[in-house]
Amino acid sequence: MRQYLNWKTYLAVVALFIVGASLYYTSQLAGKLASEEKQKVQALAGALETLVKSNNIQETAFASNIIAQNTTIPLIILDDKGRIADSRNIDTLHAVSPHKVVREKLVEFQKNHNPIIADYGTGKNYVYYGESYLLTQLRYFPYVQLAIIILFLLVVLIALSAANRSLQNQVWVGLSKETAHQLGTPLSSIEGWLELLRDNEANNDAVTEMQKDLDRLKLVADRFSKVGSAPQLEEENLVTRLESIVQYMQRRSPSKVDITLHSPQADVPVNISGPLFDWVMENLIRNALDAMDGKGKIDVAVTNTPQQVWIDVADTGKGIPNYQVKRVFTPGFTTKKRGWGLGLSLSRRIVEKYHHGSIYVKQSEVGKGTTFRIILRR
C-alpha cells in the first residue's frame, strides 16, 4: 500500500474531508431552515383560518401581516374540491401559460411535502409549499464547493507536475553536459596514448580494438552533449541502423543470448538523430540482457505502416510486475542493485521530445518477458 500513499493521496484525503465536513454542516443548516419554513407555512395556514373565523380587527390585521410577510416560500392553496384557490411566490411572469406552470409546481410540491390544512369549520384549504430560493442554494452549495476544490486541485497538480518536469529537465541537461565535459579530458589523453602505441607494430591488433572502444566512448560523450540541445533529425534507413546496433550488442552479450532483428522490408526511411536513437535502443537491449540470467532471446521487430513505424523490443526475461509497469519511466525508479534509474526516463525524453514519438511497455508477464514498443511518425 505504501506505493499509493504519497502527497497526492494525502491531498485528496484532505480535500474529501473538507467536502464531507461541508456536506454535513450544510445538511444540518438546510434541515434547520427547512424546519423553520415549515413552521412559517403552518403559521400562514393559521392566519388563513383567523381571517375566516375571527371578527376581531386586531387579529385579522395580525393574520394579514403574517400572510403578507411571506415573500420567499412558494406555495399553492387548494380548496376542498382540489381547485387552485391561490398561489404565492411562483414566477409566472414570462410563462406562456401561467396556469400550467402553477400546475407543474403543484405536482412537485405534492411529492416533496405533505399539505398544511387550514380548517375554516365550514370547509378546508390545503396549503402545498416548496423550498425557498435560499434553501435551494444552500442544498447545492456543497456541490459547487466540491467542483471548486476539484478545479483547484487540478490546477495545483498541473502546476506541480510542470515544475517537477522542468526541474527534471534541468537535472538531466546539467548531468548530461557535465558528463560530456568530464569525459572529454580523459578521451583526449587516451587518444594521445594510442598514437604512441601505434609506433610499435606489435601493438597493432590491440590498438585497433582500443581505437574501436575509444570511438565508442566518443559516441557516448556525443550523445550526452546532445541531450541538452535539440538535435538535428536526418533521414536514415532504420533497418541499417538497427542492424548495426544489434550486431554491436550481440558481440557484447553472453553466448547463450540470441539477439535477432526482424523486418519485412530492407529499407525503412525515418527522420532520427542517429546517436540518440542508438542510445535508446542500446538501453532497451541492455535492460533486456539484465532481465535474463545469461540466456534467452531478444527480438527486435520493425513494423512499417503508412503513418508510423513501430519498433518492438521483446525479451524472454523475468518480466515486470503489473504494479511497477507504470513506474518504469519514472526518474530514479530501478529494480537493479546498481544504477540511478535514469535510463528509461532519458529514453522516453529522447523519443517523445526530440523524435515526437512515443515509447511504452506493450506487454509484460512475470517469468515470461517484456515487450517495449517505440512509435515513430513517418
* 224 domain residue, yes or no: no
- For residue 249, the domain's CATH number is 3.30.565.10
As a whole number of angstroms, the distance between CA 224 and CA 296 comes to 31
As a whole number of angstroms, the distance between CA 314 and CA 309 comes to 16
Query: Are 373 and 256 in a shared domain?
Result: yes
Query: Are 125 and 148 in a shared domain?
Result: no
Query: Are 127 and 144 in a shared domain?
Result: no
Query: Are 15 and 121 in a shared domain?
Result: yes
Query: Are 341 and 278 in a shared domain?
Result: yes
As a whole number of angstroms, the distance between CA 310 and CA 355 comes to 13
Query: Are 167 and 93 in a shared domain?
Result: no
Which of 101, 131, 161 is a domain's end point? Answer: 131
Query: Are 204 and 77 in a shared domain?
Result: no
* 96 domain residue, yes or no: yes
Residue with more model confidence, 188 or 376: 376
- Looking at residue 3, its pLDDT comes to 47
Mean pLDDT score across all residues of the chain = 84
Helices 274-290 and 238-251: crossing angle, nearest 10°? 40
Query: Are 124 and 144 in a shared domain?
Result: no
Structural domain including 179 reads: 137-208
DSSP state, residue 110: H
* 219 domain residue, yes or no: no
* 144 domain residue, yes or no: yes
* 213 domain residue, yes or no: no
Query: Are 179 and 277 in a shared domain?
Result: no
Which of 174, 208, 242 is a domain's end point? Answer: 208
Query: Are 359 and 251 in a shared domain?
Result: yes
Query: Are 180 and 266 in a shared domain?
Result: no
User: What are 108-161's pLDDT values in tens digits?
Assistant: 888 888 888 888 777 888 889 888 888 888 888 878 877 888 888 788 878 877
User: What are 194-253's pLDDT values in tens digits?
Assistant: 888 888 877 788 888 888 888 878 877 776 776 656 678 899 999 999 999 999 899 889
Distance of CA 358 to the CA centre of its chain: 17
Contacts of 144 (CB under 8 A, 6+ apart): none
Number of domains in the chain: 3
